[in-house]
Amino acid sequence: MSGTSRQRIGNRVKRATVRRDGDHYVQLTDIGVSDTGDPFLLKSIGDNYYIAQKVDNSLFIYDLVRINGNIVYQYGLPCADEDRKFVAQGLIDSFAVDSPGGNKCTVSSLEKLARLFRAIAAERSQPQGMYGIDP
């Protein structure tokens, strides 16, 4: 996957370019500033779903991405209080309130993370982000 993507946020469109760089992808903002990019990895979990991983201040951040034609849907785990129910379902190993950085959800395996994200996508029909891929 490479090319220019557009994200619709309300009435405005946020543009970014995604390019392949070795073993990962890099998202560059298209706002006319020098940008080193935001590197991330994609791991296919089947049925056009991918787990995206990026590093942010020594923490791993994960999102679920579904690619349907030229549309990319992004589903995240905000780790909000309503997400505690996933602990009882065995999809989140631990849920902790971490004052300076918000809540912290821990998942012990890729398989469990894939199940968690699929449950979130099934429950929350509205994705967190939606991107169009320019041809």
Which residue pairs, CB below 8 angstroms and at least 24 apart, start in 46-52?
Answer: 49/114, 49/117, 49/118, 49/121, 51/110, 51/113, 51/114, 51/117
Q: What average pLDDT does range 126-133 have in this prediction?
A: 78
Dist CA 15 CA 6 (whole Å):
4
Confidence of residue 88 (pLDDT cuts 50, 70, 90): very high
Give me the pLDDT at residue 122, please. 86
pLDDT value, residue 35: 62
Confidence of residue 3 (pLDDT cuts 50, 70, 90): very low
The residues pairing with 44 across neighbouring beta strands, listed in sequence order, are 50
pLDDT of 90: 94
Q: What was the pLDDT predicted at 99?
A: 63
Mean pLDDT within 11-27: 69
Q: What is the mean pLDDT of residues 59-66?
A: 86
Cβ atoms 59, 42 nearer than 8 A: no
State yes or no: pLDDT of 14 exceeds 80.
no
Name the pLDDT band for 116 (thresholds 50, 70, 90): very high
| Residue located via tokens 């080193």 | 36
- What would the 3-class secondary structure string for 31-43 be? CCCCCCCEEEEEE
- 84: tokens are 């505690």
The answer to whether the pTM exceeds 0.75 is no
Least confident window among 17-31, 43-57, 80-94: 17-31
**pLDDT band at 26; cut points 50, 70, 90:** confident
3-133: what CATH class? mainly beta
Segment holding 16, helix H or strand E = strand 12-21
77, 83 contact by CB (below 8 A): yes
